Structure formats: structure tokens, C-alpha cells
Amino acid sequence: MKKIIKEAAHRLGIETIGISRVTDFSHLEEFLISRKNKGLDCEFEERDIKKRIYAKNLFPDLRTIIAIGLPYGEGYKTPPGGNFGLLSLSSHGEDYHRTFNS
């Protein structure tokens, strides 16, 4: 089944894909709590640590996790000239957080 899913993803233009069984990361709970208490977490992290350490806390019937990687941008159409500098490709186009959530 993994092979079929990966082949289908590649046909759709998805070059980066990973498939994994559901893993319990409860051994990281203390570390994540300590990190959060020190203010070292970031705005993109799930706030509920229980959901982060064991995906079945979020999706009880979950059996497999499929993760895909998509590029931020496709490069510059024309290189900037004059007094213009280069900006990170991640600053171009739709914010991937919005794309993912839609």
C-alpha cells in the first residue's frame, strides 16, 4: 500500500512524502513541558502537548500518518535588478498555513 500511495503522490507532483505508523512519544512529555514553561515553544506548535506526543489523542482511530512536503515557491520568474535585493522564496505567494488549513 505504501508503494501505491507514494506512486500516486508522485503522479500528482508531490515529490516528498513519508508514511509512518502511529508512534507514542510520551517519553518527550517532560521535555516539552519544560520547554513550554521556559517560553521556548513557538506559535506554530500545537499547544496541547498530549496531542503532540501521541497522535491518537487527537485522532483516536488513527492507524497511519502520511506527511507530505511542498515547496514554498517556484523560484523567481525574472531576477530583480537595480536597487532591489532577493527575498526568500517563502515570502512569495500564499502563506502555506492558510493553504493547508483551507
Q: Which amino acid is at 41?
A: D
pLDDT for residue 15: 86
- Largest pairwise CA distance in the chain: 56
pLDDT tens-digit map of 16-67: 999 999 999 999 999 999 999 999 998 888 889 998 899 898 899 999 999 9
Give the span between the Cα atoms of 17 and 101, in whole angstroms.
19
pLDDT tens-digit map of 14-24: 889 999 999 99
Domain boundaries, the chain: 2-73
